[in-house]
Amino acid sequence: MSKSNPNAPKRLALIASKGTLDWAYPPFILASAAGAMGWEVGVFFTFYGLTLLKPELTAAVSPLGNPAMPMKMPFGPEGFQNINWNMPNLLMANVPGFESLATTLMKQTFKNKGVASIEKLREMCVDMDVRLIGCQMTMDVFGFKREDFIPQAEIGGAATFLEYAADADVQLFI
């Protein structure tokens, strides 16, 4: 089926289903880039992705269960920064604070390299009128209320997203 309005701008429809720091980046990067290209953009935040609509972003990353994640130090000479620190699972699972350490290191590395923060990217999306749709069902399951999320978010369900996605040129599940 073709688009309901053939003259409408291109449209991107995303599902953001993950709430960790590493997986928070792709939806916000794609949404802001598409917005910059003049596309209409809507992101449906569901399951753990819903937490990305909270005013204070607390997204963290865990190297445990993420065997491909490079562990890099964000300070010191370049050669030192490029070393990949292989951490045994036993250490990652049992040392208290390991996850928050990994999160701090990733945030600092990203900052040093010139990657915008999740907060900044989300702000860009809001500026570009990206539709941010929170999943009602997830809210009910995890006990979130409307006021737990930023005011720019709207609330909807699967049909809300599907109707939007039906007219989209690009649809991605992240």
Partner 1 sequence: MNGIDVIKEDILLDCSGLLCPMPIVKTAKAIKEMQTGQILKMISTDAGSPPDIAAWSRQTGNELLLSTEDGGKFVFFLKKS
Binding site for partner 1 (CB under 8 A): 10, 29-30, 32-33, 35-39, 113-116, 121, 124
Question: Whose Cβ is closer to partner 1: residue 57's or residue 170's?
Answer: 170
Question: Whose Cβ is closer to partner 1: residue 82's or residue 89's?
Answer: 82
* Shortest distance, position 40 Cβ to partner 1, whole Å: 13
Euclidean distance between CA atoms 53 and 49, whole angstroms: 8
The 11-16 sheet, strands edge to edge: 154-156, 131-135, 40-45, 11-16, 170-173
Task: Give the dihedral of Cα atoms 89, 63, 132, 155; nearest 10 deg.
Answer: 20
* Shortest distance, position 87 Cβ to partner 1, whole Å: 26
* Shortest distance, position 124 Cβ to partner 1, whole Å: 6
Residue from 136, 144, 167, 166 nearest 55 by CA: 144
Question: Whose Cβ is closer to partner 1: residue 23's or residue 47's?
Answer: 23
Query: Quick count: other Cβ atoms within 10 Å of Cβ 6?
Result: 6
Question: Whose Cβ is closer to partner 1: residue 99's or residue 123's?
Answer: 123
* Shortest distance, position 128 Cβ to partner 1, whole Å: 8
Question: Whose Cβ is closer to partner 1: residue 36's or residue 137's?
Answer: 36
Instruction: Concatenate the DSSP letters of all residues of 97-166 into one string.
Output: THHHHHHHHHHHHHHHHTPPPHHHHHHHHHHTT-EEEEEHHHHHHHT--GGGS-TT-EEE-HHHHHHHHH
* Shortest distance, position 84 Cβ to partner 1, whole Å: 20
Pairing assessment for the beta strands 170-173 and 154-156 based on DSSP bridges: unpaired
